[in-house]
Structure 1
Amino acid sequence: MSAESKVNEPGAAPDDETLALAHALLDAAREGNSGVLGSYLAAGAPATLTNSSGDSLVMLAAYHGHAGTVRLILDHGGDPNMANDRGQTPLAGAVFKGYTDVARELLDAGADPDAGTPSARAAAQMFARTDILALLG
């Protein structure tokens, strides 16, 4: 579900309350606020929520280095391979930023090191992330 689409009416503009909730969840992922995010995910909020650029909750948590929040989202159905509108995956984002613990969580959940543009493997080589390259195999 995108923050730009209303749950019950595909193609309809979201109401202010829906949009505010979507933004709060995206911010919680970005900030690593697992308490807030966990409550909403447990209540049925979609773990595949994306922003207008296609960045998922997993992508935002991964890019900002929140391994525990990444695990929480994945445990509620987040997709470790969901690329954003630029073709970037959460694993490539974690590699770019050098977050080995986040990369490990994503790999444990089945993230593909060769998916996306650039792939996580290519990013690890580009930025000489030898510790993460070792994880990628």
Structure 2
Amino acid sequence: MRIFIGAVLACLAFGAWAEPADPAKLKTQLQDYYFDAARRGDLDMLNTFIDSGYSLNTQDDKGYTALILAAYHGQGPFVERLLNAGADACVQDKRGNTALMGAIFKGELKIAQRLLATDCNPDQRNGAGQTAAMYAGLFKRVELLDELKAKGADLNAEDPIGNSASRLASGEIRTPTPR
């Protein structure tokens, strides 16, 4: 018993001399753990963050949220848990891309279908003026085009270059004209 009490007192004494934790470093470390859990699909870690009240829509320096990263990396159960816990599927990264756009780009069809069930605008545009339907057309995700259309997506909406989801799906790709 004396050894245990001595060990506790020693820890307390050494703890008093320890440097106080830098809040900015702690915040960065927490974000790193959170985003790494999203990439790997670590549900136990995610549940710890959810239980502690961590902001699920936290963004990294590129604007990525855990939902965007999990969708991009094919972590379906992680995506589902985030959505059920209240993560916002409509959040855009710094380029304006959403989790849905990332899932379509990577060919994660089940995740994309789950994200389509959220309340996001189906014609939400990224910084280049592209929509999720344009991604689906470009990458030949025909089944998603049908679902996007059923949700109200305008398959004839054009980006600034003149590409539309329907044109892209048929193989017609417009590129910027050289200056």
TM-score by length of 2: 0.65
| CA positional deviation for 1:14 | 4.8
1:51 aligns with 2:60: yes
1:21 to 2:30 alignment: yes
Residue of structure 1 equivalent to 2:163? none
Q: Which runs of 4+ in 1 moved over 3 A?
A: none
- CA distance in 2 between counterparts of 1:116 and 1:53 reads 17
Equivalent residue number for residue 32 of structure 1 = 41
SS at match of 1:28: helix
One-letter identity of the residue aligned with 1:64: H
Are 1:104 and 2:113 matched, yes or no? yes
Stretch moving more, 108-117 or 52-61: 108-117
Q: Letter of the aligned partner of 1:49 in structure 2?
A: T
**What is the rounded CA distance, in whole Å, between the counterparts of 1:116 and 1:89 in structure 2?**
9
Q: Map 1:50-69 onto structure 2 (within 5 A).
A: 50-69=59-78
RMSD: 1.5
Q: Identify if the C-alpha distance between structure 1 residues 88 and 14 changes in structure 2 by more than 3 Å, giving closer, same or farther.
A: farther
Q: What is the identity, as a one-letter code, of the residue corresponding to 2:139?
A: F
Query: Does structure 2 conserve the Cα–Cα contact (< 8 Å) formed by 1:94 and 1:100?
Result: yes
Query: Do the aligned partners of 1:91 and 1:111 also contact (CA within 8 Å) in 2?
Result: no
Which residue in the other structure is 1:83 paired with? Answer: 92
Q: In the alignment, what sits opposite 1:9?
A: none
* 1:112–1:34 distance in 2 versus 1, CA, 3 Å: farther
Residues in 2 aligned to 1:14 and 1:125: alpha-carbon distance in whole angstroms: 45
| CA shift for structure 1 position 15 | 2.2
Query: Residue 134 of structure 1: which of 119, 142, 146 is its match?
Result: 146
The residue that corresponds to 1:122 in the other structure is 134
**Between 127-136 and 51-60, the greater mean CA deviation after superposition:** 127-136
5+ long unaligned stretches in structure 1: 1-12
| Structure 2: gaps of 5 or more residues | 1-21, 151-179
Aligned-pair identity in percent equals 32
Q: Which has the higher contact order (CA 8 A, sep 6+)?
A: 1
| 2: CA distance, partners of 1:84 / 1:123 | 16
Q: In the alignment, residue 135 of structure 2 is paired with which amino acid?
A: A
Match of residue 74 from structure 1: 83
What is the one-letter code of the residue matched to 1:73? L
Amino acid paired to 2:110: D
Equivalence for 2:165: none
